Structure 1
Amino acid sequence: MVEAAATSPRFHRARGFRSLSQSIQFALSGGIVMLAAMFLAGVVISGIVTRAAVESTATSSALFLDSLLSPLVQELAHRDLLGAQAIARLDATLKNGAFADRFAHVDIWRNDGLVAYSTTSGLIGGRFPLPEGAAMAFDGEVSARYTDLAAGEHVARAWTTKYLEIYVPLREHRSGRIIAVVEIHELTQPLEVKLLRVRIHTWLVVTGAALSIAAALTAVVYRNSRLIAQQQIALQNRLGEIERVSNQNSELRMKVQRASGRLVEMNESYLRNVGAELHDGPVQLIGLSALKIEQVRRASNRSGRETILSAIEGLLGDALRDMRAIARGLMLPEIQQLSLCEIVTSVARVHEQRTGTAVRVICEGVPLDTPQAVRLCAYRFVQEGLNNAYRHAGGHGQTVECRHDGDLVILRVSDDGAGAGGRAERHDGSLGLLGLRERVESLGGTFSVRHGPQGTVIEMSAILNGGEEA
């Protein structure tokens, strides 16, 4: 059943409608509602205006007839039918001139259905059911309606044409009571022309108002729809950017975690190497010195003791030199109070003194408050980079560059030799390029090595505001 509903034409039309833009959806749905409202308003207003026009015509006719006929029918206050003289005056008034052209027929009713006068003389004195409009007029209300061709008086005249019937009460002058009702039959053609014009004006006004409202609302919805569409596109782009940055952050976090893990392993390996160096060097010499102390005790003469003590002194001196050498490899110079540029320059000058080579240093615009972790990493980076340049390129064209770019500090060590030739990774207990890569990436930075005919370039970048956290 669900599949049948999903494949029905109504379902597809609903999906097609929802796929349209909001402005088009509003134009379609609002247009249907607006057309229905316009049609209903047009019908109601047209009916009201038409009725008002008919009543206006009836009122104007009533005033005219009351002033014209009321003096001629005053004798009906005392008798049922008019005299011959009164009928003659009415015929002269109603059957000739402009009045006859406008009002085709005139009847005067008594309240008992007696026709007291009619322009159709054969109806005078006849009795018929009192028309509804005449009954309302006897109650003092002017009314108008179209001819009922089935009424008895119209059947007697064999009428086939409809007129506008207007019923006007006629009153006695002295008492004001209604003594008769005049029914006039007005030609409908002038009224129909007037009503047609009124209907056309009414429909034009209603249609214009509806179209103006629809256009204004559609314009507002269209503008808002475009704004919403632009915001949706911007939001989608923003979500895509957030997703991309989130993926980059996830990758960077995993990269930092892996680098931190490898750095821990390298530190452990480095400590084992230091332990091995201490065990194989100074510890062995100190142990040998301890054995010779027993020989001093057993020496038979002073000359023998002096000889043994001299040997012990030499062993302890060798052990002390080895321990100092190991300590120099473990200790960094005092860099707590130095800026990053001063650290880079200091490492370069020490390298020049030790190797007798020249190092060009370029360091400009670097902030003074660089995090400690970044300065330690920069010290090791420049030290190892210059050592590699001296070892593999003979110290030719050694250059150290340090610059600031936004939130990043960028360090580059280059030479103009033949490159490392695959010997960049060292396993002699020093930090090496592999250790540098792990240290830099543990700070959230990047590390790269480029070899070429023009020499080797190693480069690192680190985030200034993330160094302390790393």
Structure 2
Amino acid sequence: MNRLISRWRNAALATQFAVAGGIVMLVAMLVVGQWVAARISETVIRNWANATALYMESFISPLSQDLADSDELSPLAHRALDEVFTSTSLGARVVSYKIWKEQGRIIDASDHALLGRQFPVGPELRAAWAGEVSASLADLTEQENAGEAALGVPLLEIYSPIREVWSGRVIGVVEFYERADALVADLTQARRRSWGAVAAVFAAIGLVLWGIVARGSRLIVAQAAELQQQVAELAELSAHNTALRLRVQGAAGRISALHDQVLRQVGADLHDGPAQQLAFAALRMDSLAPHLASDGALLLAEMERAVKDAIREIRSISRGVALPDIAERCPCAFIADLAETHRARSGTDVEVTCLADDLPPLDAAVKTCLYRFVQEGLTNAWRHAEGREQAVWLGRVGDRLVLSVTDRGPGPGMQISGSADGGLGLAGLRDRVEALGGLFDIRARNGGGTELSMELQLGQNK
């Protein structure tokens, strides 16, 4: 059954219409054909019966007027009726007859054994007493029709009212059986022609509809094939774009790593070069102080302070641009170190929440991005929010890595406007995050403060 259903669903629209429409059209053709054949038979039999009844009435009515005043026919009328049905051409057509009175009593019949007998009144006899001519192909199964059934030929059973000449009142009913060989042949031919006409009409309608559906089906199949080809091309293009995007993100990550490497080299060069030379100069200045006069000693002291301030500034810069080796470390570990360093430098507490068990393996570019994000976020919170209720949260939400740095300062407007005097910290963070295909956001928190957040799709940075 499932196989048939599957084959049906996979079949073309024209095939489905041919099968389903063929069944519907066949059922409709049978119903309509049967109805048309029945109406043709009914009409032909009625017209044939009316013509025969009118012909019979011209013979029987004059001989049956005694029934207006009596329930019996006169012997003369009996003999006249027998001669009509045996000695005229009418006898060749009508094989038997019965004349009925009310309550179903036979007062005359071609079979004299039925005279005086009473039978149940059927619907045809009742309709004839109401003045209607009724006819049907004889069933001949009733007891009164035993003689007719013995003939073995198709008969048309006709009930016709006998009317009083001057008043038109029904005074009796004549039932007669006419040979129906020609009628049956005509009916068979009429049915055959009506069935042929109905079948031809329905076949023509079915073919026209099937042609329309077949054309539409071919168009749909062609469009479906074209759509499948377009989908395949789009899928190929999407895969190509995804590969290009991953390559761009990988290149951006490598550029970011190279940038950090350059910064580390700059920091090391500052620490090992100018800082050491300035330190040496400071030492030499200390040795010159005893040999100078008071004014010169004072000038030398000012120069020494300037040199030492430069040394501290260079060391501070070198520490800020230098990046520790985080490639092999867990993000939770270096975020905790950043919070501790920030606490030591600023004297403000940082609440760190890191869901280490949910974190997948991360590459160096992602870890570098996390490091710089926390570093810049805490620095901004200290500068613009006075370090109030600083917090860092790192974890996995579905298939995304989420990192946020929050505070309870005046809000993001101060941080954005305040970044203009400090350089491109937030702008650099946005570029770094978006280069890895992530989302960067800064927004106000309910109840005051700022939330700096980033999201990275896990598994796309290879």
Q: TM-score range by the shorter chain?
A: 0.5 to 0.7
Comparing 135-144 with 88-97, greater Cα deviation is found at 88-97
The alignment status of 1:258 with 2:250, answered yes or no, reads yes
2: CA distance between counterparts of 1:293 and 1:149? 147
**Shift of the alpha carbon at 1:155?**
4.1
Give CA-to-partner distance per residue, 1:325-349, whole Å, 9 cap, x none: xxxxxxxxxxxxxxxxxxxxxxxxx
1:101 to 81, 92, 98: 92
1: CA distance between counterparts of 2:250 and 2:54? 107
Give CA-to-partner distance per residue, 1:229-249, whole Å, 9 cap, x none: 223222222222222122112
Matches within 5 A, 1:218-233: 218-233=210-225
1: CA distance between counterparts of 2:16 and 2:139? 49
8 Å CA contact 1:115, 1:124 repeated in 2: no
The alignment status of 1:142 with 2:162, answered yes or no, reads no
**Shift of the alpha carbon at 1:187?**
0.7
The alignment status of 1:151 with 2:152, answered yes or no, reads no
1: CA distance between counterparts of 2:147 and 2:83? 26
1:49 to 35, 40, 46: 40
CA 1:134–1:264: 2 relative to 1, 3 Å: closer
1:78 to 35, 53, 69: 69
The one-letter amino acid paired with 1:182 is: V
8 Å CA contact 2:131, 2:170 repeated in 1: yes
8 Å CA contact 2:68, 2:164 repeated in 1: yes
- Structure 2: 5+ residue stretches without partners: 292-434, 436-462
Identity of aligned pairs, percent? 32
**Shift of the alpha carbon at 1:205?**
2.4
Give CA-to-partner distance per residue, 1:391-431, whole Å, 9 cap, x none: xxxxxxxxxxxxxxxxxxxxxxxxxxxxxxxxxxxxxxxxx
2: CA distance between counterparts of 1:222 and 1:156? 58
**Shift of the alpha carbon at 1:211?**
1.9
CA 1:98–1:251: 2 relative to 1, 3 Å: same
1: CA distance between counterparts of 2:149 and 2:249? 113
2:335 counterpart residue number = none
2:408 counterpart residue number = none
TM-score by length of 1: 0.52
The alignment status of 1:217 with 2:174, answered yes or no, reads no
2:4 counterpart residue number = 13
**Shift of the alpha carbon at 1:273?**
6.9
The one-letter amino acid paired with 2:55 is: F
2:162 counterpart residue number = 170
The one-letter amino acid paired with 1:15 is: S
2:51 counterpart residue number = 60
How many residues end up aligned between the 2 structures? 299
1: CA distance between counterparts of 2:235 and 2:167? 97
Report SS of the residue matched to 1:95: helix
8 Å CA contact 1:113, 1:127 repeated in 2: no
The one-letter amino acid paired with 2:70 is: R
CA 1:97–1:272: 2 relative to 1, 3 Å: same
**Shift of the alpha carbon at 1:51?**
2.4
Matches within 5 A, 1:170-209: 170-209=162-201
1: CA distance between counterparts of 2:64 and 2:201? 51
Q: Please provide the CA RMSD for this pair.
A: 4.2
2:102 to 111, 126, 129: 111
2:237 to 231, 238, 245: 245
8 Å CA contact 2:133, 2:158 repeated in 1: yes
Report SS of the residue matched to 2:118: coil
The alignment status of 1:128 with 2:128, answered yes or no, reads no
CA 1:116–1:285: 2 relative to 1, 3 Å: closer
The one-letter amino acid paired with 1:57 is: W
Report SS of the residue matched to 2:160: strand
CA 1:48–1:298: 2 relative to 1, 3 Å: same
Report SS of the residue matched to 2:25: helix
2:320 counterpart residue number = none
2: CA distance between counterparts of 1:80 and 1:266? 131
The one-letter amino acid paired with 1:43 is: Q
Give CA-to-partner distance per residue, 1:258-287, whole Å, 9 cap, x none: 222333344455567778899999999999
2: CA distance between counterparts of 1:216 and 1:78? 68
- Structure 1: 5+ residue stretches without partners: 1-9, 300-441, 443-470
The one-letter amino acid paired with 1:142 is: V
The one-letter amino acid paired with 2:34 is: V
**Shift of the alpha carbon at 1:77?**
1.5
